[in-house]
Amino acid sequence: MELLIDHRERKVAHLVEDVCSETKIIDLPLGDYLIASEKGSVIVERKSIHDFISSIRSNRLWDQLLRLMKTEEILGHRIKRTILLIQGSVEEYFRSIARYSIRDTDVFWSQITGAFLEILYVYNIPIIFIEKEEELRPFFKTLVRREEMGLNDKLPKAKWYRKRVRAELPTKDRKRYILSSIPFIGEVLARNLLEHFGTISNVANASVDELQEVPKIGKKKSEIIYEMFH
């Protein structure tokens, strides 16, 4: 991977110069940092909290984000992801500029929250906060590592939760426990299945029509049960 840094970020470039195998300071047409990779590149736009809020009020931010969102390629590198990196604290910024009434505070936070939601849901750009320049290094190291390992592109793992069954649980309850794990089949339908067929083996060998003979088991659920065992 290669890290391309816009010349305007020259003052902090030394903090991230070794996070990639190669680092260059260039004139980026868009964004402040570009993590270039053959699998797809990541553009990072860094803003101080003062610049961020100022750009909201001047509407300059929305033009920048629209161009970032629409850009598919920069300097021959295909863009697959865009990140807005905000440095500083919104609350500290608010406290530093003046003293406001509670109403002014509510208005301010409503505007900022609205901007965050606009960025996330309308422009589809994730926001990450850091407080100090020194945090650039761990941010980029983590981002580069996750990009190299494909962790930012993977699908979430299915994490099914099932309460652990007690060792002393009677056999009939264990059978009901097993059947209740079938999608859309809970404790009541599992009990109905066992009362009707007697064993899990008989449930597994039953046809779709035979399964529908069980109380509260309709065609859709009978097909699901059949597919699970076949």
State yes or no: pLDDT of 166 exceeds 70.
no
The CATH architecture assigned to 171-229 reads Orthogonal Bundle (1.10)
- Residue 194: pLDDT band with limits 50, 70, 90: very high
Q: Which CATH number fits domain 2-149: 3.40.50.300, 3.40.50.10490, 3.40.50.10130, 3.90.45.10?
A: 3.40.50.10130
Cβ burial of 85 (10 Å; 0-12, 13-18, 19+) is: buried
Q: Indicate the domain borders of the chain.
A: 2-149, 171-229
User: Whose CA is closest to 20, among 148, 193, 172?
Assistant: 148
pTM: 0.68
- Write the pLDDT tens digit of every residue in 72-108: 999 999 999 999 999 998 877 777 766 656 567 788 8
| Percent of the chain residues topping a pLDDT of 70 | 91
C-alpha to C-alpha distance for 149 and 146, rounded to whole angstroms: 5
